[in-house]
Amino acid sequence: MERVQKLFIVALLLAVAIASNIGNAQTICKMPVAGLMACKPSVTPPKPAAPTAACCSALSHADISCLCSYKNSNLLPSLGIDPNLAMQLPGKCKLPHPANC
């Protein structure tokens, strides 16, 4: 379940970055916007792509506690991001499960 929550958070952050038009020099929860954008194809239906090395690398350096703070947003579906796909992303990147997320 924690893995799913982490993915959901990553997807939410992608949505926030897109909605806010934040430049690539900015970060969200220590994850650069370019990294968030690299993950977007992996959390967008109907045929999500496998996460890229850039996506997994960015996710591995993110502040997971910060990302978890976005888990209850309704923004993701409105931007075409599937929360279920987002929750699968850390596992697909072979990253550890976040604690207390």
**What is the per-residue pLDDT for 86?**
76
Segment-wise mean pLDDT, segments of 10 residues, the chain, 101 residues:
63 60 65 85 92 93 73 70 78 80 65
- Which residues partner with 27 through β-bridges? 32
pTM score over 0.85: no
**Contact predicate 4/42, CB 8 Å:** no
Measure the CA angle with vertex 59, ends 55 and 60; round to 5°: 120
- Residue with tokens 């850039």, as numbered in its chain: 54
- Only one residue has tokens 């109907």, namely 46
